Amino acid sequence: MAIHSSGTLLTAEEAAKILGVNQKRVRRLSSQGILGRTQDGRRLYITEKSVHEYMRYDRKPGRPFNQKTALAALSMISGMRVPLTAKQRYRLKNTLMNTDVQHLLSLCRKRAEARDFWCRNSRLEDVAAQLRLSSATGDMADAFELTHTDNVEGYIEKSRLEELIARTYPRDNTSIPNVRVHITECDLSSFGTTMPIGVCAADLAESDDIREHAAGISKLEQLLTEFKQSHEGD
């Protein structure tokens, strides 16, 4: 049954039925900022208005970038050099100049494969040492004005995943994860020594936690606005 506030809210199940997709897809669209959302405790609600807007307009806002281009886009709005040719940088810059945050998240949604694990607290430090940290892990929480937690999130090259698992023994398919690993086939060293702030913001924007989601969206809006201003007239 729909819940009424300043606008009509739908459960994830109701939104999924209207859109003809599963609830996981609804949660992903809401995490990307494409569907409006609100939370009551752990329960997710979707604004009816955003569901109908999504049905009215293009439901496929552009083919997603490949992993390298997605990471390059988020690096570029972070003010970092990117491992692309001059022609590729020019085309990507033009795309970024004509997009908004929701579209950017959609274009970059396949930047890596995300897997959740549970790991003993005594091994979390070792896990963190094997990853290029992202989201609000550790001191990154301060950059987004979020509370520090023990959870770890970061990126790793696919070729090094088995080494991480062998060293830290994380449990897969758990209902209480404290580690999220983004697995990529890209050479992460070509994107600098730490994950760009734009990547961290995108990861937060896709969080089911409403505070993390809002912090990620806010930072992406700031980065994209500053990027457009700095390249206006190029």
pLDDT, mean of each 10-residue run, the chain (234 residues):
57 84 83 78 82 64 86 97 94 94 89 92 95 94 94 96 94 83 94 91 87 92 96 82
pTM of the prediction? Answer: 0.76
* Residue 213 exposed, middle or buried by CB count within 10 Å (0-12, 13-18, 19+): buried
In whole angstroms, what is the distance from residue 199 CA to residue 62 CA?
A: 19
Residue 53 Rama label (left phi>0; alpha psi -120 to 50; beta) = alpha
> 128: how many CB neighbours lie within 10 A of its CB?
18
Classify strands 113-118 and 171-172 as parallel, antiparallel or unpaired: antiparallel
